[in-house]
Amino acid sequence: MSASVDAPYPFPVPHYMYPFSPPPQIVATPSPRPKRRQVKNACTNCQKACKKCDDARPCLRCVKYGVGEECVDSQRKQRKKGIKRGPYKKRDGRGRAVRALDSPGPLNAHVSPASLTPAANPPGYLPVPLPPGYYAQYTHIPKPGEAPAYPYYIAQVAQPSAIPAGQEGEAANAQPQPSYYPIFHAPFPTQPGYPHSQSFITPFNNKLR
DNA sequence: GCCGTCGGACTCTCAAAGTG
DNA sequence: ACTTTGAGAGTCCGACGGCA
Ligand SMILES: [Zn+2]
Ligand SMILES: [Zn+2]
């Protein structure tokens, strides 16, 4: 069904990844589906509901349901240590395929740089004209005395070169301090009927709700 | 139409095992 | 020390049903 905050796209591209996704007609090939991107930590509400979260706090979904105050990161378990494993199968040459995404990038990273930059587009999608180092994200910037709203922002993210190889800066000290640049605002926070009634079209040419 | 629930496919992370 | 592998732990898609 349609467009809810949970599944806003007609195709499986996370909205924070490909904000200016091209209209369907220029999506060329029936490509293998682009990789789904996950947030590092879903908030407890989204986790409970098994729904998509985002990196902003409060997250889009909590804001939508008016429970922004309850939007907190879920606790992640520590991985078990000391688990013994059998010998590995060597997969070299032709059979090697697992993490070899299509490009011979830096081999030290399990996290493909492609997943970090806007330069990477899933197969079948055209590049979008975003400045390097930016990708779009829904980010709520709370202002004192202001009701929660749904501004769209372009969030500046750390350049890939500034990210420690292999890790996306999950350590607290590696966390970039992004600055946010408002590009435009979705109209509906002040619209009557928000959030439940009317759909609208974002300038991204994607229907959000 | 919206919402909540949930099974399971998918993704991410990182310790163990392997390599030089 | 560095790289590779693979599985644990997590996210969230998509189907479904209930309700207004
Ligand atoms: Zn959330
Ligand atoms: Zn939340």
**The pLDDT of residue A43 is above 70:** yes
C-alpha to C-alpha distances, A30 to A11, A39, A177, nearest whole angstrom: 11, 26, 38
| Distance in angstroms: CA A161, C1' B5 | 42
For residues A46 and A10, the model is more confident at A46
**The pLDDT of residue A160 is above 80:** no
Protein residue at shortest CA distance from C1' of B19? A90
d(CA A19, CA A118): 10
Output the pLDDT for position A31: 57
pLDDT tens-digit map of A27-39: 445 555 678 889 9
Ion ligand 2: residue ranges with CB closer than 5 A: A 43, 45, 59, 62, 71
Query: What sign for the dihedral angle of Cα A175, A172, A42, A110?
Result: positive
- pLDDT averaged over every residue in chain A: 50
Output the pLDDT for position A140: 37
d(CA A161, CA A13): 25
A 10 A CB-CB count for A53 gives: 24
A 10 A CB-CB count for A132 gives: 10
Q: Could you tell me which residues are beta bridge partners of residue A136?
A: A154
DSSP structural state of residue A146: -
Bases of chain C within 7 A of a CB of the protein: 2-14, 16
- pTM here is 0.52
d(CA A178, CA A78): 28
Q: How far apart are the first and last CA of chain A?
A: 11
Output the pLDDT for position A30: 52
Ligand 2 center–CA A147 separation, angstroms: 16
ipTM confidence score? 0.89
Amino acid identity at A15: H
**The pLDDT of residue A186 is above 60:** no
* A203 strand C contact, CB < 7 Å: no
Ligand 1 center–CA A82 separation, angstroms: 32
C-alpha to C-alpha distances, A153 to A82, A129, A146, A199, nearest whole angstrom: 44, 15, 17, 20
Ligand 2 center–CA A41 separation, angstroms: 10
Across the range A58-71, mean pLDDT stands at: 88
For residues A188 and A89, the model is more confident at A89
Ligand 2 center–CA A111 separation, angstroms: 25
| Distance in angstroms: CA A198, C1' C10 | 33
Greatest mean pLDDT range, A89-93, A139-143, A149-153 = A89-93
Output the pLDDT for position A182: 35
Ion ligand 1: residue ranges with CB closer than 5 A: A 43, 46, 53, 59, 61
Residue A61, helix vs strand vs coil: helix
pLDDT tens-digit map of A15-24: 333 333 333 3
Output the pLDDT for position A116: 34
Amino acid identity at A157: V
